[in-house]
Amino acid sequence: MQSRWHDETARDYCRRHADLGEALALRLYTSHLLGADASLVLHGGGNTSVKTTQRDWCGREVAVLRVKGSGSDLATVTAAGLPAVRLEPLRELRALDRLDDQAMVDAVRGALLDSRAPNPSVETLLHAFLPHAFVDHTHADAILALTDQPDPAEHVHAAFGGDVVLLPWIMPGFALAKAVADAVERSPRCLGVVLARHGLLTFGADARQSYDRTIALVDRAERYLAHRIGGRPSMLWADCGALPPAERRQWLLRALPVLRGDVARAVDTPVGPQWLRVVAAARTDDDLAAFAAHGAAPQLCATGPITPDHVLRTRPHYLFLGRDEAVAADQCRRAVAAHAAAYQRYFAASRRDAAVPMLSPQPKVAVIAGIGLVALEATPAAAAAVADIAEHTLRVKALAHDLDRFEGLPDAELAAMEYWPLELAKLRPAPAPLLHGQVAFVTGAAGAIGAGIVAALLEHGACVHATDVDGDRLARAMARLAAPGDRLDTSVADLRDPAAVEAAFAQCVLRFGGVDCVVPNAGIALAGRLEDLDPARYEEVQAVNAGGTLHVLRAAARLLRAQGTGGSIVVQVSKSAFAPGAGFGAYAASKAAALQLARTAALEFAEFGVRVNAVNADAVFGDDEVPSLLWQQVGADRMRARGLDAAGLRAFYRERSLLKTEVLPRHVGEAVVFFAAMRTPTTGAVLPVDGGLPEAFPR
């Protein structure tokens, strides 16, 4: 491991944060250095502190501890994420023999200079009790590989000699803080403290000294591992059945919808059963595939995490699936159920407080033989975080296995950490949006209606795969959306080509794990009286509007059936399907065909729980940035036919409706959201979004 410290960058931090003072500026710098290295900390893990002074409300200089606050990530922490607590009141607590968790939290919050600040780290007292100005706490992979062993002392002593103090696992809080402070007092020349199955503490008189000690000790651990393991076949590169990359991809395409469906949970709600769905993040690097193919993988997946700090995100154990098991719905379902039952037994055996409810027993991580791992969470960001942790977990377990034998904490200790009130407080979930966990697939997403549908689905919490035949137009339309990039995926596909449709769905599966709501929306228009229609152009309209809908329905059906959790299909038809206009026969016929396909699908797809409905929109013009392609194609003809200009045509369509209102793309999007939410037992329906046109009332 190499130091990333650069003197000029350090000076730049001091210049940019001159108002904070040098100590806090450099605390930010080294915190960011630690947070930028995933082999040291991951996703909010670890904590850092600096002891300095600050003026209180009376203008007095008081000694304070600036320590990482709950919810902050070392890679991006700001000064506000290092709340200031008065140091002396905290140090006085060391004289106590005992201090329960709630009293510790009260004492720490009571010492805050700013009551609006985030909660300081649960390990604040650990930082406060040490005399050093700077303290760094990481969960370095190499350190964990040494200590997740039957005899951690053997390897720690061999790697570091007397330069560090080794402590056994102690639950974070007051007891750990006292134990660390006592150990450092007994060994004042030590460079750090190794916490068995937990991580590494380093400290120093200045920021660089503390940081350099972290890097130096982790480097020594890495060199020790390389020396001990070098020359022997590693579990991460064993030739024992890992599939080639192309085959991994093909297996994933089959496995992800099955696994995603089996992990989803049905819950009762006032409107009937609803699914709690997840999205998937797969990792199939060569070394992960090799791990997953190794004979020791099932046993290692059944052991606990490499550090208990990960247990809340990943749960204590991973689900291991054989390849055939992962693609067979019944077998996968039984494996998931067995995993959930094992978690329930773990919870029951370790439960200490009858008032604390059990967390979801469904697996958060699945390892598939010869392929890699899959993380399962309600959002792509959460799934990616779990996948990152799982990647490091498998690699550390492999190192520990190669060194000797991986041994994590006993289940009782894991459960104590997982259900620790101070750990559970980190969850505090925000109210879930309406389409939380759902994945939607929208065609024709570059046009006005398509972009409006995508925007509405994203706003209501769905992940969306948006596809269109025009890549440039699609990019411009999607760029307007103020949406998290991790919930939006795009592809270019010509719906006339079944292979292109299949490829777009495959991309959606690999990105999110499957699909729940499918919106066949793409369409083209052609104006002209029947006697003048070019048959070839007529067939082109049919191929896109009706044929494309068929290809999407076929591909969606196979995926939705494999998932086994129902879903929704919302076909975008048109007022023309019910009330065709003169000179618009090709379009009307294609939309009538799409409507009949939707009605037929409602009959056929009900057997696997999928609801198929249609939205009947009319006169949706869009705006200058994302105009309606249909009106670009036929608007001039419609204006000539009625002797109107562009503004007059818009007014004509607005005034002919019963509600005298303009239909916006977002209105169509909200209609799709209504069906996607599946809060009514509705299938085979048509929902007009046209302002009210009696001649187009569905009959």
- Catalytic residue numbers? 587
**Backbone torsion region of residue 598, taken as left when φ is above 0, otherwise alpha when ψ lies between -120 and 50, otherwise beta:** alpha
Report yes or no: 48 and 137 within 8 Å, Cβ to Cβ. Answer: yes
- What b/e string do you get for 530-553 counting C-beta neighbours within 10 Å, with b at 16 or more? eeebeeeebebbbbbbbbbbbbbb
How far apart, in whole angstroms, are the C-alpha atoms of residue 81 and residue 68? 6
How far apart, in whole angstroms, are the C-alpha atoms of residue 494 and residue 469? 5
CA atoms within 13 A on the CB side of 453: 34
Beta-carbon contacts of 223 under 8 Å, excluding residues fewer than 6 positions away, are none
How far apart, in whole angstroms, are the C-alpha atoms of residue 39 and residue 9? 22
Strands 439-443 and 517-519 come out as parallel
- At residue 452's C-alpha, the angle toward residues 658 and 687, to 5°, is 45
Beta strands in 551-620 (DSSP E): 567-572, 610-617
Strands 567-572 and 517-519 come out as parallel
CB atoms within 10 A of CB 590: 30
Q: List, as own/partner pairs, every contact residues 557-561 make where C-beta atoms lie below 8 angstroms and the sequence separation is at least 24, other chains included.
A: 557/601, 557/604, 557/605, 557/610, 559/257, 559/505, 559/509, 559/514, 559/515, 560/515, 560/516, 560/518, 560/605, 560/608, 560/610, 561/608
Nearest C-alpha neighbor of 30 from the set 53, 14, 52, 54? 14
End-to-end, the C-alpha distance of the chain in Å comes to 72
